[in-house]
Structure 1
Amino acid sequence: MPDNDGPLNLPVDQGPERASGRSSSIPGPQPTSSTHGPAASPHFVLHNGDGDGDGERHGAIIAAGPDNISDEDEFALTDGYETPASGSASVTSSVYAHTYEHGRRYQHFKNGRYPIPNDDDELHREDMKHAMLMELCDGELFYAPIGRNPHKILDIGTGTGIWAVEVGDRLPNAHVRGIDLSPNQPVWVPPNVDFLVDDCEQGEWLDQDADLVHFRFMAIVLKDVAGVLRHAFASLKRGGWVELQELCAEILCDDGTMADNDPVKYMYELARQAFAQFGMDVMLPKGLGPLLRDAGFENVQCVVKKVPIGPWARDKTLRVIGMYQEMAVQDLMPVLPGRPFTALGMSQMESQVTLAHARQGLGDTSVHRYFEYYFWFAQKPWA
């Protein structure tokens, strides 16, 4: 890669399978966000299921946030919305319960699986990464060529719901459903958008007629990626598409400016080992092709994009993207001494020294570090 004064050469590379040329999946100029007032309807769903071992019951649409839960930890729903599955019309408040560790908030539902908090700081980081990807992808929300008039779109691991809301804005004739373990999504959303609190690995969210099943930053946190891809395959109509937008958390450098003992690279190597303790493989995104084929998909394609870490690029847009990426790294760092590094047996002193060296390293723009983002999309056969 060139030095800091030369033009940046970070092309949109093709991954293991070359992505064919295609027109924009969403025609015409489109807004990237909107503000929704009382005319919209809050749609929250808790899926029917077997619970998570804590006696939780699911199967109701929640019309508002946790403030609506009574002192008895349960409330009846009478807003008249159609429930996606028959069963209970009430739900315990445990889906809103949280665990606090190391000064951060973690979701209690399915507690222990995910070593990243779900507090406001983390939610802001997720929205910032969305803004970065919109810059990186020239405003495109997905690459899968689903046509001009999709009817149903699923967003698995929707997080703050920002992707689902923007897709709902751009495609008002499509029903967009976001699925997540945490009910962190906005209350007021477009009328064609709703959210499901559910565990995507259980497969109870299957619809069988979706045009697109979308994942973002999910491959490394799933314990059974192959199983979830099979669920996605079953949820799609014939000819439907799946897309996974994933970061491969490996620090790379092309021009020799990064030393072997680079402190940022070392921190991410420790993070890789730490997340492995939770069953997470941060290197998996670059190897999703065989898993997609094994799940039954065909026409497997991949676009790989290089993202600078820090504002060292000469290109103005890539400098902005690099600033976003560095901020995302900086905001992740306070999380690492919590569950991740504790799982490695590191002391708080050792963790903080590691982070201090990494912060100092991030400030050196003469080191041209970058990540690779993988955009995989594949099609369910027509026959």
Structure 2
Amino acid sequence: MATHQHGAAASDWVTEATSMTSATLDTYLNDHLYQGGRRYHSYREGRYALPNDEIEQHREEVMHILVMDILDNNLFLAPMSEPPTKIMDLATGVGLWAVEMGDRFPDATILGVDLSPIQPTSVPPNVSFQIDDVEDTWVHDTDYDFIHMRESSAYMKSTPTVVENSFAHLRPGGWLELQEFHWEAIAEDGTISPTNAVNAYLEAMYEYGRLEGREINIVPKMGELMRKAGFVNVQCRTFQVPYGKWPREERQKRRGAYMVATCQILIPACNSLLSTMGMPEEQVDAMFAGIGEMLHDHTVRCHNTYYVWSGQKPERAAGV
């Protein structure tokens, strides 16, 4: 059974969303939901499926290191003609991307938005964080130069709504960038079957999403969503990231090691979702064990795909 317990004292970095009273904000800063030995967000309880505790925060740190490695230490790939000056980071998590953007662009203002108050208190002066739900009605300005979201679409109830909200809150000429893993395991050399342990697990997660009324397998379709919302100059870059340390090339071997580390934290956190849809615990455990074997079998040479989608709001409205 889920229980609420009090956490740390309220931090001084959080700005208050217009729709929240200060008393309500105080409650969510001091209260968390605990279930199965893991800690979850309290504001909009259940909206985000993963925990927000120290274990999950460590996974986000590993993921950030991995993504920075994949992108050759670039925080974004959108081909902006000038440095952005007003930036929003959706589902910012522990805020690592926002903080690094603040360091690299000291003349910009960066706002990180998340359901959980888990961001650091010591940040650059141009960085702030806000507790809010990016799937709700936005109360933000409509003149952002750049809006960014990483690894969150699979957990959204309506990614198209988030894309549409982003479009509405960008200035003409502003950019949106979505950085996401497509977790499907692929091996061109035939060392795995399409129904391998990772993909079987993903199919179960996709079914969970369908039962919840949302689409988890959405990453390859992001460009379609962006164009439908009105974005132009939609671009996509993809990167192969190995599952495991099987590559000979040192950089890919390193990335594979980071991928194993994040999977070993992420998958157990998702197991409760499969139990929610009625899958027997023994079956869930067997699937997890199968993935563990696959990740450490160097004869299985497979990878997933990291997508970076970017699109621009037109400089002028259509017909103007």
When the two structures are superposed, what TM-score results if normalisation uses the length of structure 2? 0.90
Q: Residues 184-195 of structure 1: matches in 2 within 5 Å?
A: 184-195=118-129
Residue 308 (1) aligns with residue 277 (2)? no
Q: Which amino acid aligns with 1:354?
A: M
For 2:31, the equivalent position in structure 1 comes to: 97
SS of the aligned residue for 1:98 comes to strand
CA distance in 2, matches of 1:149, 1:361: 43
CA distance in 1, matches of 2:59, 2:258: 10
> Structure 1 residues 261, 231: CA separation in 2 closer, same or farther (over 3 Å shift)?
closer
Task: Kindly report the root-mean-square deviation, in angstroms, between the aligned alpha carbons of the 2 structures.
Answer: 1.8
Query: Are the aligned partners of 1:96 and 1:183 in contact in 2 as well (CA < 8 Å)?
Result: no
Which one of the candidate residues 136, 153, 176 is aligned to 2:87? 153
Gaps of 5+ in 2: 1-10
Whichever structure has more helix as a proportion of its residues is: 2
Deviations, residues 178-221 of structure 1 (Å, cap 9, x unaligned): 00011110011000000011011123243111110001112222
For 1:374, the equivalent position in structure 2 comes to: 307
Q: Which amino acid aligns with 2:85?
A: H
Which one of the candidate residues 287, 291, 302 is aligned to 1:358? 291
CA distance in 2, matches of 1:164, 1:307: 24
Deviations, residues 322-378 of structure 1 (Å, cap 9, x unaligned): 11011111111221332x111221222222222222212221111112111110000
Query: Are the aligned partners of 2:176 and 2:312 in contact in 1 as well (CA < 8 Å)?
Result: yes
For 1:28, the equivalent position in structure 2 comes to: none
Query: Are the aligned partners of 1:303 and 1:375 in contact in 2 as well (CA < 8 Å)?
Result: yes
Deviations, residues 121-177 of structure 1 (Å, cap 9, x unaligned): 111101110100100000000011234432100000000000000000000000000
Gaps of 5+ in 1: 1-40, 50-56, 61-73, 75-89
Q: Which amino acid aligns with 2:278?
A: G
CA distance in 1, matches of 2:50, 2:213: 13
CA distance in 2, matches of 1:280, 1:125: 24
Residue 257 (1) aligns with residue 188 (2)? no
When the two structures are superposed, what TM-score results if normalisation uses the length of structure 1? 0.76
CA distance in 2, matches of 1:312, 1:256: 15
Give the Å deviation of 1:272: 2.6
Identity of aligned residues (%): 37
Query: Are the aligned partners of 1:251 and 1:268 in contact in 2 as well (CA < 8 Å)?
Result: no
> Structure 1 residues 164, 348: CA separation in 2 closer, same or farther (over 3 Å shift)?
same
Q: Which amino acid aligns with 1:282?
A: I
Query: Are the aligned partners of 2:18 and 2:139 in contact in 1 as well (CA < 8 Å)?
Result: no
Larger radius of gyration: 1
CA distance in 1, matches of 2:307, 2:162: 18
Query: Are the aligned partners of 1:149 and 1:173 in contact in 2 as well (CA < 8 Å)?
Result: no
Query: Are the aligned partners of 2:184 and 2:198 in contact in 1 as well (CA < 8 Å)?
Result: no
Q: Residues 275-314 of structure 1: matches in 2 within 5 Å?
A: 275-314=209-248
Q: Which has the higher contact order (CA 8 A, sep 6+)?
A: 1
Query: Are the aligned partners of 2:101 and 2:110 in contact in 1 as well (CA < 8 Å)?
Result: yes
For 1:46, the equivalent position in structure 2 comes to: 16
Residue 346 (1) aligns with residue 279 (2)? yes
Q: Residues 101-180 of structure 1: matches in 2 within 5 Å?
A: 101-180=35-114
CA distance in 1, matches of 2:28, 2:87: 28
Q: Which amino acid aligns with 1:343?
A: T
